[in-house]
Structure 1
Amino acid sequence: MSTNSTIVIGGGPAGLTAAYELNKHGKKSVVFEKADRVGGISRTETYKGYRFDIGGHRFFTKVGEVEQLWQEVMGDEFIKVPRLSRIYYKNKFFSYPLEPYNALSNLGLINSTLIMWSYFKAKVQPNPVEENFEQWVSNRFGKRLYETFFKTYTEKVWGIPCTEIRADWAAQRIKGLSLKKAIVNALFGSNDTKTLIKEFNYPELGPGQMWERVQQILDGDGSPVHLNTEVIGLEHSDNRIRNITISQQGRVEKVTGDDFVSSMPVSLLLKKLNPAPPEEVLEAARGLKYRDFLIVSLIVDKAELFPDNWIYIHSPEFQVGRIQNFKNWSAAMVPDSSKTCLGMEYFCSEGDKLWEKSNPELIELASQEIAKLGLGVKLEDVEDGCVIRQYKAYPVYDGEYRQHLKVIEKYLKTFKNLQTVGRNGMHRYNNQDHSMLTALLAAKNILGENHDLWNVNVERSYHENFTNEEWSQLKQQSTKDDNDTKSLSSVV
């Protein structure tokens, strides 16, 4: 049995950020990652020299310490990438944010007028109930705009009706985005939206380059990152985790530590505890749901295709949800300048019809769909492809998740040396910078501060409005008052 100061479970952005922050302050850790590479859902996969993301990952934030960490690690190796994305709906492409002539031409004057009428009606007579996604969006954007741009894509992503998705998810992911303002802009010509930035930082070789660099730093400073290592159990007593059991290349070993930070799916973490949690906690863990994801990476015999970084496919007749053009993120992602690499992203659930398709069947489906979309690709242009499946990519905000999570949070807070961080560690659909922020605060807790990670405001972090001044206010916090929480939630 080996002993370590801090044990970090998971080598994604959250886990590695916690280890990096501890390392900066001279506190050693060890990271255990089940996969064969670091980065989690922010990793960069490779196939025959082609590099591609598991979804695109912009490096843009207004959280000062997150930006500082990025710059410390990558510095001048970041490239500036112009942002361009569009929406495909009913055989037409809408600029995003919408442009006046483009929107009017595609929607038509009558439909645009009806959308605005529906919007004003919602403002005058809003639905008094806001429990689900449909009600929340319709109250803020009007029923007609909801049905035009939100409903079909959202149901494609989550695989359930919008009436079964909690309003929490809409409040977290949509509030402040420019679709409403863009429609107004399309008709009246003004747009001051901040969240739709025009360019962003990006590692030249993809987001995985960032986390591979962090791995190198940690390994070199005596805080090793172990890949292909699964945590299969956690033993606890007296409200403290005592040790974990790991499995590495068929070898099982126990590892003890003083502090523990976990970014593995919280539902899975609870199942690995010994002694087992109370039945009501396990029941809550079983109640948490996830949406899985797969990406079909197609190599296309075309030097240039569409100029977008990505395109949202709202039309329900296509199964693909989003298309990445990795060459437009960084030319270095494609080894042959005469080719293009596209990422056809499909939202699904493990065991469903789409997930169970074989890799050749998925490549054929993606090839057929890209050829039908009018993006300049013929079926014969597709030369090759590969498939990556991502389990538990998106925590689902269904009607019961909040109740389950409240039970889980209360139980986890009884442990004095265990913190959960990141998207799956906290079952929150957040962005990379928010995952990193929870990890930074977890590390600061180990270093002697006192932050309530569960009160980190997801919405503010996602919408990139959290400022350096606010972060400075947060850093001055030394104690937590349950009645007046001086944490991230109190400054937003």
Structure 2
Amino acid sequence: MQHYPTVVIGGGPAGLTAAYQLSKQNHKSVVLEKGDRVGGISRTETYKGYRFDIGGHRFFTKVKEVEQLWHEVLTDDFINVPRMSRIYYDGKFFSYPLEPFDALTKLGLIDSMMIMLSYMKIKMRPLPEEDNLEQWVTNRFGERLYQTFFKTYTEKVWGMSCTKIQADWAAQRIKGLSLKKAVLNALFKVNNTKTLIKEFEYPRLGPGMMWERFQEKLDDRGSPVHLKTNVIGIEREGKRIKSITAIKDEQLVKFSGDNFVSSMPVSLLLNRLNPAPPEHVLEAARGLKYRDFLIVSLVVNKEHLFPDNWIYIHSPEFKVGRIQNFKNWSPEMVPDASKTCLGMEYFCSEGDNLWEMSNEDLIALASREVVGLGLVDNTDLIEDGTVIRQYKAYPVYDGEYRRHLQVIEDYLETFENLQTTGRNGMHRYNNQDHSMLTGMLAAKNILGEDHDLWNVNVERSYHEEFTKERFEKQQQQQQQNDDTPKPVSIKA
């Protein structure tokens, strides 16, 4: 059995950040990652030299501590990328964010007037409740715009009615955005929302470049990252985790530790515990749902196709939900400048028709759809393709998730040396910056501070100001001392 002061389950943004922050304080750890590369859903896959994301990952954050860490690790390997995205709806491409003249022209005068009347109506008589996504969006955009642009795409992503998706998801993902703000931004360049940013940073070889650099630094500091290491057992005594059992290279390996950080799906974590949790906790774990995802990466024998970073496909006659143009994220993602690499993203669930299709059939489907959308002239230009399936890509915010998650949170908080982090570790739809923040705070807790990870991204503005304040204090301390600063003891 190998012993480390801290054992980290999961080599995504949250787990790697926790381990890296600990290493800066000479605190050793080991990271156990099931996949063949680090990064989790933020990794960069490769195929014949082509690099592509599992979904696009912008590097933009208001959390200064996270921004500083990005540049500390990746140094000068960032590029600045102008954001351009559009919505495909009813046979037309609409600029996104909204540009009033563009929308007016393409929707037509009557539809545009109906949208504005619907918006004014909801402002005068808002819905009294905002329990689900349909109610939340309608109160901010009006019923007509919700039906036009939000409903079909959202239901394609989640595979369920918007009335069954909790408002928490919208509040977390598009907080602060309204039709009024969108129009003000378009007319007067007023922009106070993350959703409407015009430019973002991006690693020149894709987001996986960031996490691969984390891995290199951890290995150099004696905190190894083990890939293809599948955790199958988590042994506990009472409320303390004692060791981890995993399979690596077809052999059982065990790791003991003083502290444990997990970003594996929380439902899976609970099922790996030995002795098992109480039945009501396992029942709550079974109640959590996930949405899976697959990407069909197509190599197109054409130098330029369209200028967008990505396009949202709202029309229900196409199964594809979003299309990435990786060359427009970074030219270095495509090894042959005369070609283009597209990522056709399909939202699905394990076992459904899309998920069960063969790779050959998926490539054929994606090829037909990209031609049908008018983005590629004909299928003869598509010379190659590959498929990547991603399990448990998105935690589902259905009507029961909050109740189940509260049971799980209450149970996990009784453990003395276990913290859960990241999107799946907390069943919360975090962006990578907030996942990294949970990893940072987990490391600080191990080093003696006291932070509530479950509040991260619940009250976003609070945490942004909190981390900005702590970051500035840490920077002042660093200037006063020659050595790496010790953690500042401030409670969240």
Q: Report 1:466-477 matches (<5 A).
A: 468-469=468-469
Residue pairs, 1:377-388, within 5 angstroms? 377-388=377-388
| Counterpart for residue 268 of structure 2 | 268
Are 1:8 and 1:19, in contact at CA under 8 Å, matched by a contact in 2?
Answer: yes
Aligned residue number for residue 352 of structure 2: 352
CA distance in 1 between counterparts of 2:420 and 2:276 reads: 17
Note if 1:422 corresponds to 2:422.
yes
Give the deviation of 1:376 after TM superposition.
3.7
Label 1:179 to 1:54 Cα distance change in 2 as closer, same or farther (>3 A).
farther
Q: How does 1:13-412 map to 2 (within 5 A)?
A: 13-177=13-177, 180-183=180-183, 189-194=187-192, 195=194, 196-412=196-412
Q: TM-score normalized by structure 2?
A: 0.94
Q: 1:377 offset after TM fit, Å?
A: 3.3
CA distance in 2, matches of 1:468, 1:209: 26
Q: CA-to-partner distance for each residue in 1:9-35, whole Å, 9 max, x for gaps? A: 000111000000000111000000011
Offset of 1:96 from its aligned partner? 1.0
Q: Is the 8 A contact 2:172 2:457 kept in 1?
A: no
In 1, Cα distance between equivalents of 2:467 and 2:28? 30
Structure 2 distance, partners of 1:465, 1:316, is 41
* Greater alpha carbon shift after TM alignment, 462-471 vs 282-291: 462-471
> What's the CA shift for 1:379?
1.3
The aligned amino acid for 1:410 is D
Partner Cα separation in structure 1 for residue 421 and residue 219 of structure 2: 22
Q: Hey, what's the Cα distance between the residues in 2 that align with 1:357 and 1:258? A: 45
Q: d(CA) in 1 for partners of 2:110 and 2:470?
A: 45
> Which piece of structure 1 moves more, 452-461 or 219-228?
452-461
Does the 8 Å contact 1:434/1:461 carry over to 2? no
Inter-CA distance 409–78: structure 2 relative to 1 (3 Å threshold): same
What is the identity, as a one-letter code, of the residue corresponding to 1:428? Answer: R
Q: Secondary structure of 1:95's partner?
A: strand
Do 1:182 and 1:191's aligned partners in 2 also have CA atoms closer than 8 Å? no
- Which string of whole-angstrom CA distances, capped at 9 and with x for unpartnered residues, describes residues 420-439 of structure 1? 00000000011000000000
Contact 2:326 2:343 (8 Å CA) reproduced: yes
Change in Cα spacing, 1:295 to 1:459, as seen in structure 2 (3 Å) is: farther
What is the identity, as a one-letter code, of the residue corresponding to 2:490?
S
- Cα distance, 1:185–1:435 mapped onto 2, change above 3 Å: closer
C-alpha displacement at 1:200, in angstroms? Answer: 1.1
Aligned to 1:2: 2
Letter of the aligned partner of 2:328 in structure 1?
Answer: N
Q: CA deviation at 1:181?
A: 3.0
The answer to whether the 8 Å contact 1:228/1:249 transfers is yes
The one-character-per-residue Cα deviations of 1:172-219 (angstroms, maximum 9, x if unpaired) are 112223655335667xx3341232222111111110011001101000
Contact persistence 2:14–2:438 (CA under 8 A): yes
Q: Secondary structure at the match of 2:117?
A: helix
The Cα shift of 1:467 comes to 6.8
CA contact (8 A) 1:45 1:54 kept: yes
CA displacement, residues 150-185 of structure 1 (integer Å, 9 cap, x when unaligned):
100000000000000001111111222365533566
Per-residue Cα deviation, 1:308-353 (whole angstroms, up to 9, x for no partner): 0000111111100000000000101001011000000000000001
Match of 2:481 in 1: none
Amino acid at match of 1:181: K
Counterpart contact for 2:140–2:178, Cα < 8 Å: no
Q: Describe the shift of the 1:92–1:155 C-alpha distance in structure 2 as closer, same or farther (beyond 3 A).
A: same
In structure 2, do the counterparts of structure 1 residues 242 and 393 end up closer, same or farther at CA, with 3 Å as the change threshold?
same
Normalization by structure 1: what TM-score?
0.94
> Are 1:478 and 2:476 matched, yes or no?
no
Moved more, 209-218 or 173-182: 173-182
Change (3 A) 1:463 1:257: closer
Distance 1:129 1:65 in 2: 36
Note the residue ranges of structure 2 that are not aligned, 5 or more in a row. Answer: 475-486
8 Å Cα contact 1:294-1:348 kept in structure 2: yes
Counterpart residue type for residue 468 of structure 2: N
Q: Per the alignment, do residues 290 and 461 of structure 1 end up closer, same or farther by CA in structure 2, a change over 3 Å counting? A: farther
DSSP 3-state at the match of 1:354: helix
Q: Name the CA distance, whole Å, in 2 between partners of 1:177 and 1:347.
A: 24
* Partner amino acid, structure 2, of 1:265: P
Counterpart amino acid of 2:341?
C
Identity among equivalent positions (%) equals 73
Secondary structure, in 3 states, of the residue corresponding to 1:355?
A: helix
In the aligned structure 2, how far is the partner of 1:342 from the partner of 1:219?
33
**Between 303-312 and 245-254, the greater mean CA deviation after superposition:** 245-254
Query: Partners of 2:227 and 2:377 in 1: how far apart?
Result: 38
Cα distance in 2 between the residues matched to 1:212 and 1:358: 30
Counterpart amino acid of 1:193? N
Q: Which amino acid aligns with 2:340?
A: T
Amino acid at match of 2:321: G
- Whether contact under 8 Å (1:246, 1:252) holds in the other structure is yes
Cα distance in structure 1, aligned partners of 2:246 and 2:82: 43
SS at match of 2:356: coil
Report the count of equivalent residues. Answer: 478
Deviations 1:128-147 (A, max 9, x none): 12111111111111111110
- Secondary structure (helix, strand or coil) at the match of 2:31 reads strand
Which runs of 5 or more structure 1 residues have no equivalent in the other structure?
480-486, 488-492
**How far does residue 459 in structure 1 lie from its aligned partner after superposition?**
5.8
State how 1:432-451 maps to structure 2 within 5 Å.
Answer: 432-451=432-451
